[in-house]
């Protein structure tokens, strides 16, 4: 597949390398030639010096044939405009814009763009690890508003049902229950055992409530 990455900072350089190693054709655009020094030494995609907003630069990058474009510069405004132009004027089927300032997320999302808010997501993930180190997030949707967590059922909940555990908890839904290496789709009547691995889809607030319940800080 053909991909264009606008912005060769640390994220852009790493993204280019991952795409290249996966066998894709990659063109990376940056206004500063020295930015390409961040690319891995064995990267064999194209580098193109120029302004990502310039029509001539995007066309030289092959935007008419691009399967996807990622705008990952340090400027939220530039990312939004480049991504919007790629989607609306060039009909690039898959476009992603990076967001730095959480206060500008709504502006970028108003364009109908897929966004990755590294600042927002990173801060939330660090908070999760500080508050509940026993949690393990195995999947993150959007910018982390909803995640799938893996938790270990403690001895205090042995013999109780999944419904007993989750019924008072809002914004938290069971995904899978694993025991002795075998996973099943859990039901409210499923009886829990010590050491079971429970996957739940939850918001940050929902996971906090579930963690408190598991630890006995709320009434069982």
CATH number, domain at 61?
Answer: 3.40.50.720
List the domain range (segments joined by +) for residue 17.
Answer: 2-121
End position of a domain, from candidates 121, 154, 188: 121
Verify that 151 and 117 share a domain, yes or no: no
Q: How confident is the model at residue 134 (pLDDT cuts 50, 70, 90)?
A: low
Q: Are residues 36 and 68 in the same domain?
A: yes
145 plus 78 within the same structural domain: no
CB neighbourhood size of 73 (10 A): 24
| 200 found inside a domain | yes
Specify whether 104 is located in the same domain as 55.
Answer: yes
Residue of 64 and 127 predicted with greater confidence:
64
> What CA–CA distance (Å, rounded) separates 202 from 175?
10
CA 166 to CA 178: how far, in whole Å? 17
Domain tally, the chain: 2
Parallel/antiparallel/unpaired status of strands 46-49 and 25-30: parallel
For residues 165 and 58, membership in a common domain is answered with no
pTM: 0.68
Q: What is the pLDDT of residue 128?
A: 67
Classified as helix, coil or strand, 14 is helix
| Side-chain half-sphere exposure of 17, counting CA atoms within 13 A | 15
- Residue 220 belongs to some domain of the structure: no
Domain of 175, CATH number, reads: 3.30.70.1450
Report d(CA 183, CA 176) in Å as an integer: 6
End of a domain among 62, 91, 121?
Answer: 121
In this predicted structure, the answer to whether residue 219 has a pLDDT above a threshold of 60 is no
The predicted structure's pLDDT at residue 110? 80
Q: Which residues contact 175 (CB under 8 A, 6 or more apart)?
A: 148, 186, 199, 200, 201
Instruction: Indicate the pairing of strand 95-99 with strand 114-117.
Output: parallel
């Amino acid at each position: 597949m053909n991909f264009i990455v606008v912005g060769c900072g640390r994220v852009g350089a790493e993204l280019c390398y991952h795409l290249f190693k996966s066998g894709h054709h990659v063109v990376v655009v940056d206004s500063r030639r020295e930015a390409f020094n961040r690319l891995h030494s064995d990267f064999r995609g194209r580098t193109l010096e120029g302004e990502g907003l310039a029509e001539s630069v995007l066309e030289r990058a092959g935007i008419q044939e691009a399967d996807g474009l990622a705008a990952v510069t340090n400027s939220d405004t530039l990312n939004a405009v480049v991504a919007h132009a790629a989607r609306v004027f060039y009909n690039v089927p898959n476009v992603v814009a990076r967001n730095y300032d959480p206060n500008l997320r709504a502006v970028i999302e108003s364009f109908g763009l897929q966004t990755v808010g590294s600042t927002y997501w990173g801060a939330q993930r660090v908070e999760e690890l500080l508050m509940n180190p026993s949690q393990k997030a195995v999947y993150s949707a959007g910018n982390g508003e909803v995640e799938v967590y893996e938790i270990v059922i403690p001895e205090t909940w042995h013999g109780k049902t999944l419904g007993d555990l989750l019924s008072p908890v809002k914004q938290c839904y069971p995904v899978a229950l694993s025991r002795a290496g075998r996973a099943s789709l859990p039901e409210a009547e499923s009886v829990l055992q010590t050491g079971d691995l429970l996957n739940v889809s939850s918001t940050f607030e929902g996971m906090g409530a579930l963690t408190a319940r598991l630890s006995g800080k709320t009434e069982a």
